[in-house]
Structure 1
Amino acid sequence: MDKSIGNILDMIKRIGFSIPQSLLLGGALVALLAGSACQRNVDVSEAPIQPHFFQGQTEVIPLAGTWDFALDPDHVGVKERWYSKKLADTVTLPGTTDENKKGQFIDERVDDRLSRVWYWKGAAWYHKEVEIPSEWIGKRIQLLLERSKDTHVWVNDSYVGYENTLSGPQFFDLTAAVKEGTNRIAILVDNSVLPPVGPAHAIDERTQTNWNGIVGRLELQATDPVWIDQVQTYPDVANNRVKVVAKIGNITSIPVNGRMQVQAASWNVRNPVTFQGHEQAYLQLVDGQEVEFFYDFDEEAPLWDEFDPALIRLALKLSVDDGGPSYQHATFTDFGMREFVQKGKHLLINGDRVFLRGRIDCANYPLTGYAPMDRESWLEMFRMLKAYGINHWRFHTWFPPKEALVAADMVGVYLQPELPNKRSGMDLRSMDDEEAMKVHNPDYLAMSGSKFNMTLKDYLQKEAELIFRYFGNHPSFTLFTLGNELGRNQGMFELVAGFKTMDNRRLYAQGSNNMHWEPSFAEGDDFWVISRTDTNLHVRGANFHGAVSSGHVDNLPPSTLVDYDHSIEHVEVPVIAHETGAYQVSPDFSEIPKFTGVTRARNYELFEQRLKDAKMYDQYPAFVAASGKLAAICYREEVEAALRTSDLAGFQLLDIMDFPGQGTAPVGILNVFMESKGLIEPEEWRRFCSEVVPLLKMEKYTWTNAETFSAQVDVAHYGKTDFSNPTLSWELIGSTGRIFKKGKLQNGDIRKGMLQEVGKISFPLNEISRAEKLTLTLSIEGTSYSNAYDLWVYPESVDLKVPAETLVSRRLDANAMQHLEGGGKVILFPEHDRLPHSIRGAFQTDYWSYPMFLRSALNQGKEPAPGSLGFLCDPDSPLLAHFPTEFHSNWQWWHLVKNARPIILDDTPADYRPLVQTIDNFARNHKLGMIFEMKMGKGSVLVCAVDIPNLLHLPEARQLYYSLIHYVDSPAFSPQFALDTSLIAQLLP
């Protein structure tokens, strides 16, 4: 059949089809000619490999479909030989018990994560009868389960193996157990038996759930008794060649002589090229033998990076014909010609500096409970986030499936997977021997062998070896760690040192944010993912409230000057900022119906009901929009502060997408389905999160028209090529579109791989006569790279004279009450220490999840975070007629909101709304008034919880005061609500 198919492919090629088309059609013909029971896994990609290299590939019998099924809650199946019994139920595989609606139907109502609909934790049995064709007898046969949990396999009542990897594919050798005709495969999966890795996201109920089942590829594979067991490629960029290490499998018990044919072709490039072939003879090949050779390219091989993710397919064909039986086996692997290394504080790919603009994948896939196993889903995700300027992806305590790495290879994304681990004790085991005996009978334990109940160190070593074997060739696999937020011990040093010796194709570190409570670098690590390099040396702009020290976004007056140069000057390896951002956005309840899979958004349903009970449900879309706009502003400052740090290696956002588990953290500008929330478009996000970003460095956002604006312009350039003597143009544009100032900067070449000053901008602001928001744009002419900055200019002096009929007061004292009784108006700036029902002021939106870090702060004896999410206002309100603003907070409000005490107005009428309303988090749902109004007797009161009297040295405070005075003095000031006097006495004593 191989010869016939090869002839057909050659004929197709002769009549005019290109190689890729002929392979595509050939794949269909192979499936047709081979029949439905047994088909060859012919490649159909674009790599122009000669067709004969596909003769002799691994043969496959797919096992997807209906399987017999039974739950084993008491773990009696092994003792009672369930592997030989008929099971009464059925499921569909690939799939999980959740997807098949097996186990316990639960109506869980929790607010710290998504809720599973069907729950099973324990043993589950899966049976299937498979027809083995006669031509498979005598071949080497194995079972592939691409991803599962703790797994045992029987074939025709014979036990064939055990595996418990959470990261790699599971293979079981069936050669000695199968027979021609009908064979029964029995699989026991037990998700209650887990390695001692702690709540890693690979198994955490708060992320992808601890599912039971088998997902991804599920098939039998057959090869001749001599085959190519694995292929590893080690690119040698400097010499335009690749070292190839091929491991031979041989179950004949006899050394054999063979010849290896090799061919390579580029793909995922504009013009694919087939390189010259290579052939070499080998003598006395035995099982497990490695053959090593260099494949020299006969022309320049394309290099792989984020801009040109060129891939090369290496096809190998082993033929054995030395007087005995003839065997052959063909296989291929894809790799990229790239060298990813550390040089001092920098990361380099092929000699060029890399700046990682990353996000963290915490395994939140709510429809299935596990990550996609298909390539197209990953291609869509990677391409979407590349549109947001993301070039880096960290997998928090889990390893992605193969198709994720293939997609990252194709799109050009630098990956940092991690071992599935959140524990540091290298001697830890899942359970002690006594516990193991209680849960499982002696036969079960005996079958598991040395893989069962391993120490954590041994398990991580095994996982890493599997990962390097099955995923080591992927060029996107550039960074690797032992887990997240671990401690430190000698075993961890030994693991990292061993990995570096074992496989030098990537960089290694002990973990992400390890020792964060007492930061110190682990000698021997190639890079350092950390939130702060010492007690007060941050590399991110926000931190949870109750940490040793906090970030600059909410604690330093706003500017565009903050960087982390001082924080990393003492560090000699690349520093990557850990879990940057975590700015909470108010929950979007319109997403609830989208949870149609194995989880439900019961947490969002609870939050929705809380907001309804608080009589503010009608405002939730506005809360989402306003808090989300502020979160995007904060994220921008995070990204730009990182880019302003000349030697920082990158950052990892937590996250650009929501995290609906582990406390529930709706922190994304995208929802958990990776859909836009409408907060910021990709084009706008890429202005500040891209390979090339013009940066404006100014001391403040708010100015007066008596000042001279001055700023420095830098360009963070981590793109593909240098800019030769470019021109950077700038414009200052007013709110009506008027261009007040413009100019050009030119300062020689802008070189790639660095942060470079381009020039300075300076001009007087005296042309701006009224309070106005302006935009200063920066553009590198002839490119798509531009950026824009908001600034606010106010008159230096404003008339703050208060009209006679208006009284400004700090209290509702006798004088104020008398004024009101006479029908007067009062502007009240209550003294903050006299506001018992209020919260502290904050600029940034709450960090991560208020309930989660409330507990943390209280446990440490510290005051909890304010917990607010910005504010909501009507920018067209006459209240703000003289104070330019959007409907949400922005930098001109920073001093104002930080010096405010939003007042809790929960007991006001249901339809009462503050004029400037601080948005509360989903746990409390207070109605919070920063500025509000009310009738009192014959008079009216405007309450402003901003401490303006003590902020009048700031132009924005003077301007807001001016706007408040004019509002109260206008006919528009006519409060409709008269609040209960006893309530007022409580709120404003």
Structure 2
Amino acid sequence: SRLAVRLDGFWDFALDSHDRGLDEGWWRTPLRDPTLMPVPGSFVELVPGGDGHVGPVWYQRDIVAPFDAPAHRWILRFDAATHQASAWWDDVPLGGHTGGYAPFQFEVSHLLRAGQTHRLAVRVDNRLTRHTIPPGHLTDDPVRQWFYHDFRNDAGLIRSVWLLRTPRDHIGDVRVRALLDENARDRGYLEYQVTIGGPHVEELDPRWVEINVLDHLGSTVASERGTKGRLIVAPVQPWSPESPYLYMVQVRYAPPGAPTPDIYEVTTGFRSIRVRDAQLLLNGTPIRLRGFGMHEDSAWHGRGHDDVRALHDLQLLRWTGANSFRTSHYPYAEETLDLADRLGLLVIDEVAAVGLNLSLNAGHVPVEDPRTFRTGGVDERTCAAHVAAVRELIARDGHHPCVIIWSLANEPDTREAAARPYFAEVVAAVREADPTRPIGFANVAQATPELDTVTDLFDVIMLNRYYGWYVSLGDLDSARRLLDDELRRWIATYRKPIIVTEFGADALPGCHDTDARPWSEEFQRDLIETYLDLLGGFPEVVGAHVWHFADFATPVGLHRAGANRKGVFTRDRRPKLAAWALRDRWTREQSPPDQEFPRAR
């Protein structure tokens, strides 16, 4: 009953350097002198001037409508467009979306003409302001745009575009939440909510909606009827890193008189995740996270999704012995989370709220007022965008068993008193949308336990710390003392689990030094091992994520040697010494040893 057609491939593309496209109606006619642009992908490395471009770009392609178009409902879906997008079908405006990493869609059923060729035009804008997530601001200087994060502002149609066919009587949305009963480990609960649309929605009978839970053999293990409810699955096979067992939730909608039923499927797994005292419990058992902060980044593709790169990265992650990663600093492609579900990897899923800190100046940004949470800075409009972004994130990713923590920001300036009401509103929205997962944010070094104003609102303490690099450069003895002292202060102040979500040092590939000086591969290895040796002695520290998995592209600047070089792999995924050291350590820590990738069920 359903059909999904990828609109990926080569599109016509043009930079709109002077922002004339709207006034001149670029959607009405074919683009003048276009270049070819692959979708999905970032345009930054593929067109002259792409790296320095600030403002809109335009994409166009032709679509031939199927001859059976009038008999169905048709949806145009974008998996992501960074950061603002507007679309036209021929001369008809479809609408727009703000936020660079969430899917959005438009119904185009009334616009398709059987057998005719239609033009799809999309305007994508990479400009960031103080009221976007992530924030930035525009200037009149040659740079034109400043932003507050240390990675390149890749943009464009970075994920797939689809033309979707459904029956006219259709399933509009399915939300599922799979929970494991910790008091009876062989029992699971599936909470579900189904939204229905179409000609018969006014006379909807809940009995027309059927929910079936299928095991990996395709056998039905539980079923129910209705648009909202709770199913018991017993006995249930829990999802875990050692056994990433997945179930299929199949929703079937068949109103009387409909020519075909609509069937929609969602994959999920039953597991529990919660905080108790200073421990993080998966299925009732304490866990310890080993892994990395990552980026969706590779040469030429930029932030554009690539199935090969995504699978290769997670295979390399498993090769090191890691069991987890953070989606720093934005939600990753849905395909990546599907892989994590199947491979048994644990994920800290982060919204794109990076750079809520005008005093940090990670990118050496000139600011007129270093206060962040204020009118004209990060204010109520930013907060509304932040809340919208976390709601989109939870709606998209809530069914994934791999997602164990929502990360609501990276390095905000939580020393400011005004940060508390801001984050109280964001936290309340997340608790309402998903009360089952712990929440955290990546704390910046300046917001010590004595100065931070918001940590009590969260479940998990997540610390980004660079002793031995940005502080006490090259002095690992000092780094160890400083980190040990700060951890003890956090533990004395809060009885919460701690994850050190960033630590590391830049290493130029091939730079070696008998004295292990900074920038050498030896120093990077030694710093990481110093941290891990110390963190292993604190039972309250339940995770350590090295920054970074692989070298990644950053804005041009004197403080970056062509890229951020903190990766334990190069940008083309070749291991540095630190990668081998982590593999040696983490594979020994695995219980039971897991040299092979777990098979998906």
Match of 1:827 in 2: none
TM-score (norm. length: structure 1): 0.51
- 8 Å CA contact 1:478–1:505 kept in 2: the answer is no
Contact 2:440 2:459 in 1 (8 A): yes
Residue 234 of structure 1, CA deviation: 1.6
- 1:357 is aligned to 290
Say if 2:99 and 2:133, in contact at 8 Å, map to a contact too.
no
Q: Does 1:65 align with 2:1?
A: no
Distance in structure 2 (CA, Å) of the matches to 1:252 and 1:687: 60
1:249 maps to what in 2? Answer: 197
Alignment of 1:482-493 (within 5 A): 482-487=408-413, 488-493=419-424
2:232 aligned residue? 296
CA distance, structure 2, for counterparts of residue 229 and residue 411 of structure 1: 29
Pick the aligned partner of 1:503 from 434, 442, 464.
434
In 2: Cα distance, 1:74 partner to 1:368 partner: 25
Q: Check the 8 A contact 1:130/1:184 in 2, yes or no.
A: yes
**2:90 alignment partner in structure 1:** 156
Q: Alignment partner for residue 98 of structure 1, among 43, 48, 52?
A: 43
1:316 is matched with which residue? 251
Unaligned 5+ runs, structure 2: 137-145, 182-186, 358-371, 414-418, 596-601
SS in 2 for 1:634: helix
Query: Paired residue for 2:270?
Result: 337
Partner of 1:444 in structure 2? Answer: none
Is the Cα–Cα contact under 8 Å of residues 405 and 474 in structure 1 kept in the other structure? yes
Amino acid at match of 2:572: F
In structure 2, relative to structure 1, the CA distance for the partners of 1:384 and 1:214 (3 Å cut) is same
Q: Which moved more, 1:494-503 or 1:190-199?
A: 190-199
Q: Tell me the equivalent position of 1:237.
A: 180
Following superposition, the deviation at residue 205 of structure 1 comes to 10
Cα distance in 2, alignment partners of residues 253 and 296 from structure 1: 28
Partners of 1:394 and 1:255 lie apart in 2 by 45
Which residue is 1:669 aligned to?
568
1:400 is matched with 332
Q: Which amino acid aligns with 1:407?
A: L
Quote the residue 1:170 is aligned against: 104
Instruction: Please tell me whether the aligned partners of residues 441 and 462 of structure 2 are also in contact (alpha carbons under 8 angstroms).
Output: no
Shift in Å, 1:784: 9.4
**Structure-2 change in CA distance of 1:414 and 1:273 (3 Å):** same
Can you list the C-alpha shifts for 1:534-572, whole angstroms capped at 9, x where unaligned? Answer: xxxxxx86452379xx986346799xx999556524321
Secondary structure of the corresponding residue to residue 315 of structure 1: strand
Matches within 5 A, 1:448-487: 455-487=381-413
- Structural mapping, 1:78-93, within 5 Å: 78-88=22-32, 89-93=34-38
Distance in 2 (CA, whole Å) between partners of 1:527 and 1:632 is 27
Structure 2 SS opposite 1:153 = strand
Alignment partner of 1:553 is 2:473: no
Alignment CA distance shift 1:667-1:128 (3 Å): closer
Structure 2 CA distance for partners of 1:657 and 1:94, relative to 1, 3 Å = closer
> Is 2:298–2:552's contact at 8 Å kept on the other side of the alignment?
no
Query: 1:363/1:639 Cα in 2 relative to 1: closer, same or farther (>3 Å)?
Result: same
- Alignment root-mean-square deviation, CA: 3.6
Quick one: higher RCO (CA 8 Å, sep 6+), 1 or 2? 2
Aligned partner of 2:496 among 563, 567, 573: 573
Letter in 2 for 1:197: I
2:366 is matched with which residue? none
Question: Which amino acid in structure 1 is aligned with residue 429 of structure 2?
Answer: G
Instruction: Please tell me whether the aligned partners of residues 478 and 507 of structure 1 are also in contact (alpha carbons under 8 angstroms).
Output: yes
Q: Cα gap change, 1:251/1:544 in structure 2, threshold over 3 Å: closer, same or farther?
A: farther
Q: How many angstroms does 1:510 deviate by?
A: 4.5
In 2, the alpha carbon distance for the partners of 1:417 and 1:513 equals 18
Paired residues of 2:41 and 2:305 also in contact (CA < 8 A): no
Preserved contact between residue 294 and residue 549 of structure 2 (Cα < 8 Å): no
Q: Which residue of 1 aligns with 2:223?
A: 278
Which among 267, 273, 279 is matched to residue 346 of structure 1? 279
Matched AA of 1:256: L
Shift of 1:427: 6.9
Task: Give 1:402 shift.
Answer: 0.5
Match of 1:636 in 2: 529
- 2:156 aligned to which of 201, 207, 213: 213
Aligned letter for 2:386? L
Are the structure 2 counterparts of residues 395 and 325 from structure 1 closer, same or farther at C-alpha, using a change threshold of 3 Å?
closer
Distance in 2 between residues matched to 1:78 and 1:277, nearest whole Å: 53
Correspondence for 2:213: 264
Closer/same/farther in 2, CA of residues 427 and 273 from structure 1, 3 Å limit: farther
Amino acid in the other structure paired with 2:119 = R
State the secondary structure of the residue aligned to 1:137.
Answer: helix
**Counterpart-to-counterpart distance in 2, 1:193 and 1:498:** 23
In the alignment, the residues of structure 2 paired with residue 575 and residue 719 of structure 1 have an alpha-carbon distance, to the nearest angstrom, of 21
3-state SS of 1:60 partner: strand
Count, aligned residues: 547
Deviation for aligned residue 1:401: 0.8
1:711-753 Cα deviation digits (max 9, x unpaired): xxxxxxx846xxxxxxxxxxxxxxxxxxxxxxxxxxxxxxxxx
Q: Secondary structure at the match of 2:292?
A: strand
* Aligned equivalent of 1:369: 302
CA displacement at 1:340 relative to structure 2 = 0.9
Say if 1:196 and 1:430, in contact at 8 Å, map to a contact too.
no
Q: Which residue, 345, 348, 352 being the options, matches 1:413? A: 345
CA 129–671 in structure 1, closer or farther in 2 if over 3 Å, else same: closer
SS at match of 1:465: helix
1:689 to 548, 568, 586: 586
Residue type of the alignment partner of 1:500: R
In structure 2, what is the Cα distance between the partners aligned to 1:319 and 1:293? 18
Matches within 5 A, 1:704-853: 719=591
State the partner residue of 1:385: 317
Match of 1:224 in 2: 167
Task: Name the CA shift for 1:98/1:632 in 2 (closer, same or farther; >3 Å).
Answer: same
Deviation at 1:639, TM superposition (A): 0.9
String of CA shifts for 1:762-785, please: whole Å, max 9, x gaps: xxxxxxxxxxxxxxxxxxxxx899
Shift of residue 418, structure 1, vs aligned partner: 1.8
Q: Matches of 1:429 and 1:482 in 2, distance apart?
A: 22
Change in 2 beyond 3 A, CA 1:100/1:673:
closer
| Preserved contact between residue 394 and residue 415 of structure 1 (Cα < 8 Å) | yes
Rounded Cα–Cα distance in structure 1 between residues aligned with 2:197 and 2:373: 33
CA distance in 1, matches of 2:296, 2:10: 27
1:567-646 paired onto structure 2 within 5 Å: 567-580=490-503, 582-588=504-510, 627-646=520-539
In the alignment, which residue of structure 1 is the partner of 2:546?
Answer: 653
